[in-house]
Chain A
Amino acid sequence: MSETAFLQADSVTKAFKVRRKGEGFGMQTASLRAVDDVSLGIRQGEVFAIVGESGSGKTTLANLLARVTVPTEGRIVLDGDEISRSSGVDLRSLRRQIQIVFQDPGASLNPRQTVGEIIALPLKLAGMRGRRDRAERIAELLEAVHLPADFASRYPVSLSGGQKQRVNIARALALEPQALVLDEPTSALDVSVQARILALLMTLKKERALTYVIVTHNFGVVRAVADRVAVMYFGKVVEVGTVEQLMADPRHPYTKTLLSAIPVVRESERALIPQIEARDGELPSFIDPPRHCSFYSRCPARQPQCLERDHPPLVGLSQGREVSCHMVTGPA
C-alpha cells in the first residue's frame, strides 16, 4: 500500500449478520466476516487482479471497492477522496470515476429493455437530456466495443454471451470513468469468446487510460492481462505481488496450492506450476472463525506454532511483495 495508490482499501471489513440456533433457546445473531480487515492499494493505470475461490470474499471486496456496498469497518479511498459511504448525488458523481461490471452478463441486462435503453440509463442519470445526444453517445459506445450501431434496438434475449458482455462494458464506459471493477468478466463465456473480450478490454484500457480491478478464479486470465495480483482466502488477503513474482516464486502455501491445481493445457507449461497438494481439511467456520491462521486446516506446510499464534499479518517483503504466513515472515 503506497502513497501513490489510486484506489485504496484501508483495513476494510464487511460483516453480515447471520441468525442461527444458539445454545439454549432462541436464535443467536452472529457475524459473518466476508471481508476481514483487508488493506490494498491499486495504482493508477495498472491491471490489478484479485484471485480466490468461492467463499474467499473477492466479490464482496469488488463490491466494496466500487461502492456497491458499504464497509462495516474501514474505508475506501479513491483518488484521495473517501468514498466508503457516498450516496445520492455523491454516488452519481462517483460513477463518473469508477464503474463495475457484474458477474453474470445476462442477468445484468434488463430483459425488457433494449440495448439502447440500457446504455442510456447512466447517461440520463448524469443529466444528459437530449435524446439525440444520447443516441450519438450510444452509437459511439457500441462502436468502441465492436458492436454494430443497429444493436441499440435489440433486446438482450437475441444477443450471444459475448455480445451481452460487450453491452455491459459499453454501459460501464458511458460516463468515461477512470477505473473499472470487473467481476469474473469472462467466466460465463466460451473459450474463444473469452479471448476476444480480454483483447477488447486491453484495447479499451490503452485507449482510455483506465485502471482495472479484475476479480477472477481463473489464473490464465490473470497471467494474460494482470500486472499485480492479490490472493484471497477466507476473507483475507494472503499474498500480493506482481504476476511474474507469484508465478515464479509463490510464497504462501495457498498460492502454491491454487497454482498447482490449474489444469494444464500444453505440456510445456507444466513446469511453470508448483506440484503440491492441499491437505484434506475442514474449512474453518465462518461464524466462529479461529484465531490462528485460517488456512491451517488445509496447509501442507504447517507447523505446530501456526496453531498457537494468531492469524499471520500481511507483511511487506522486498519488491512490493506481501505475504501473510508465519513460515515466511519468521518467528514472532
Chain B
Amino acid sequence: MTVTALELVEQPEAAPARKTGFRRRFARFARNRLALGGAICLLALVAVAVLAPWIVPYPDDVADSLNFDAVLQPPSLAHPMGTDEVGRDVLTRVMAGAQWSLSMAAIVLAIAVTIGVPLGLCAGYYGGPLEQVLMRITDGFSAVPALVLALAITVLLGPSLVNAMIAIGFVWWRSFARIAHGQTLSKKQETYVTVAKSLGASDLHIMFREILPNISSPLLVSISLNAGYAVLTGTALSFLGAGARPPTPEWGQMVASGRNYLPDAWWASLFPGLAIFVTVVSFNLLGDGLRDYFSDE
C-alpha cells in the first residue's frame, strides 16, 4: 500500500506561486508610506551628493568665489535659493553640502560600528570580568552628552571637519556596543551556536559568522537612526565653529554664516537648515520603517 521510504528522493517544493524573495520583502517594506518616503529622499540625496560636481548650476560657487553684484539676492529664477553674503549661489552650495554631510555620516558610522559592535560582541559572548569592564567603559562614555564630548575632542585636536568626524565616531559607538551586547547575550543560547561550538569552531568564527549575521537587523535600524543624529551633530559642531570652516559648503557652517543676516536675508540660513532637517528626518523615517519591518518577521 505504501511506497518504501528507501526508494524516495525528496521532491523539491512545488515551484511556489509566490513573488521572489526580494520583491516580496520590498513590497512589505514599502507598505509603510513614510518609510518609503524617507528612503526615496535619501536616495535622491545620495544621487545629488554623487552627481554634485556635474549638476550644480554654478560650479565656481562651491568654494571660493566673490561676486559683489550678486550679494544676498533673494530667491529668483536664476538663483532658486538666492545668494549668500559673498554672492555665491545657495542652491549650488546646498547641493555640494550633501557630499559633506553624507560622507561625514558614513565615516562617523563606520568608526562607531567598527569600535562598538566587536566590543559588544566580545562583552556578550565572553561574559565574566571582560563583560563587566567593557560595559562599564561603555556606560562611562554614555554619561557624557555626545556633543559636549565631541566638542572637547575637536578643540583638543584642532577644528576641522575631519577631526569632527573622528570625534563623533569615538563618541558614537556606545549605542552600537549596547545593542550588540544585548543581542549577543540572547543569541549565544541558540542551538546553532551550540552546534558550532561542539564542532570546534573558534570563538571568532562564532561571534562574527554565526552570531553577527543574526543581530544585523537591530544594528541596521540603529545605524539608520544614528546616521541622522550623526549628521545633526556634525552640522552642530560646524555651526559652533568647531568643525568645518568657511569656505567649505557644509550646511551647519552655512547656517552659521547666514545667521548674521537674519531676518532680512532669510534664505541664506533657511535653505541649508531645511536640507539638514530633510536629511535627518529621512534617516529617522527610514530607521523607524526598518524597525517596524524587522519586528514583523
Contacts and interface: CB of A to CB of B under 8 A. Distances in A.
Interface of A: 66-68, 88, 91-92, 95, 100, 102-104, 107-113, 121-122, 125, 146-148, 150-151, 158, 160, 162-163, 166, 171, 195-196, 198-200, 203
B114 interface: no
A122 B199 contact: yes
B200 to A, nearest CB: 4
Contacts of B213: 110, 112-113
A299 B214 CA distance: 48
Nearest to B5: A199
B295 interface: no
Contact of B192 (A100, A109, A203): A109
A102 B199 contact: no
Interface in B151-193: 190-192
A130 B201 CA distance: 18
Nearest to A94: B200
Nearest to B8: A146
Interface string B1-41: 00011101110110000000000000000000000000000
A93 B216 CA distance: 33
Given A68-B194, A199-B6, 7 more contacts: A68-B198, A102-B191, A108-B191, A110-B196, A125-B200, A158-B13, A166-B10
Contact of A107 (B6, B192, B199, B201): B192
Given A68-B194, A68-B198, A91-B200, A160 B214 contact: no
B10 A147 contact: yes
Contacts of A162: 10
Given A147-B10, A150-B12, A107 B200 contact: no
Given A95-B200, A146-B10, A150-B12, A110 B194 contact: no
Given A88-B200, A110-B210, A112-B213, A160 B5 contact: no
Interface in B184-232: 190-192, 194-196, 198-201, 210, 213-214, 216
A148 B12 contact: yes
Contact of A121 (B6, B12, B196, B216): B196
Contacts of A148: 9-10, 12
Contacts of A104: 191
B286 to A, nearest CB: 22
25 contacts: A66-B198, A91-B200, A92-B199, A92-B200, A102-B194, A102-B195, A103-B191, A107-B191, A108-B191, A108-B195, A110-B196, A111-B214, A112-B213, A112-B216, A121-B196, A121-B199, A121-B201, A146-B9, A148-B9, A148-B10, A151-B12, A196-B8, A198-B5, A199-B5, A199-B6
Most buried by A among B200, B201, B213: B200
Contacts of A92: 199-200
A105 B192 CA distance: 10
Contacts of A146: 8-10
B5 A95 contact: no
B191 to A, nearest CB: 4
A110 B192 contact: yes
A127 B216 CA distance: 29
A146 B195 CA distance: 23
Contacts of B191: 102-104, 107-108
A199 B10 CA distance: 13
Interface string B213-254: 110100000000000000000000000000000000000000
Contacts of B8: 146, 196
A151 B13 CA distance: 10
A195 B8 CA distance: 12
A162 B12 CA distance: 12
A107 B194 CA distance: 10
Contacts of B9: 146, 148
Contacts of B199: 92, 95, 121-122, 125
Nearest to B191: A107
Contacts of B4: 199
Given A150-B12, A166-B10, A110 B214 contact: yes
B297 to A, nearest CB: 10
A307 B211 CA distance: 50
Nearest to B9: A146
Contacts of B210: 110
A67 B6 CA distance: 32
A166 B8 CA distance: 13
B206 to A, nearest CB: 10
A233 B219 CA distance: 45
A60 to B, nearest CB: 13
A122 B205 CA distance: 12
A151 B195 CA distance: 21
A199 B3 CA distance: 12
Contacts of B214: 110-112
A170 to B, nearest CB: 12
A160 B16 CA distance: 14
Contact of B10 (A100, A107, A122, A163): A163
Contacts of B13: 158, 160
Contacts of A196: 5, 8
Contacts of B216: 112
Most buried by B among A110, A146, A160: A110
Nearest to A109: B192
A123 to B, nearest CB: 10
Contacts of A151: 12
A319 B10 CA distance: 42
A73 B73 CA distance: 87
